[in-house]
Amino acid sequence: MGETRKAKTLTALEAAERWNCSTNDIYDWCKSGSIEGAQKEKRAWAIPQDAMRPFDKKLIREILWQLLELKNGTVTRFDLSEWGIKQADLARYIEPLVDICYIEQTPSAPVAGRTLNYRITNKGLHLLGRTGSKDSGADVPQPLMIGASVAGRFTSQIISDLMGTTV
């Protein structure tokens, strides 16, 4: 019976390789109960082979990047198999991103011959390090904004003095 159980589980290292993460991530997820069915056997974790990879920031970023690349036409297929996620399970990873407002559903739009029903929100773009055009100055430090303003006024005054006009 031990043989059968072993065949249906993964070690932390095997799960880390399958899910494109570190073994420390696996240990943390096991300890917190994030991996359904994971059990500690003696000194090692036994992870069910069919367990779903938990969400983390790296996975969320990968999903957002792939959606962005799909929209831009740089890839033709949404594929998370490198992260141990089967095509049949993609919806289970997309839906929570709608719930936490990283993406939103849109009317069907043809993209590269396929239909894309999602767009990345400003919150999702911010997670990727890209901000929307409305928010372009939001990440500029306040001292830099003040310095640019002062430099602009100073330059304007010099030009006015040289041209003999007032601003």
Q: 51: helix, coil or strand? A: coil
Secondary structure letter of residue 167 according to DSSP: -
CB 71 within 8 A of CB 92: no
Q: What is the pLDDT of residue 156?
A: 67
Per-residue pLDDT band for 73 (boundaries 50, 70, 90) equals confident
CB 65 within 8 A of CB 55: no
CB 86 within 8 A of CB 92: no
Q: What is the pLDDT of residue 23?
A: 95
Q: Average pLDDT in the 59-63 region? A: 93
CB 47 within 8 A of CB 26: yes
Per-residue pLDDT band for 24 (boundaries 50, 70, 90) equals very high
Q: What is the pLDDT of residue 76?
A: 85
CB 121 within 8 A of CB 102: yes
Decide if pLDDT at 147 tops 80.
no
CB 167 within 8 A of CB 160: yes
Closest CA to 61 of 21, 89, 26, 23: 21
For tokens 């939001």, name the residue.
138
**pTM of the prediction?**
0.66
pLDDT digits (tens, 9 = 90+) for 100-140: 999 998 876 555 455 668 889 999 999 998 875 454 444 55
Q: What is the pLDDT of residue 3?
A: 47
**Domain definitions of the chain by residue range:** 2-48, 57-127
Computed over every residue of the chain, the mean pLDDT equals: 81
| Residue with the larger pLDDT of the pair 167 and 40 | 40
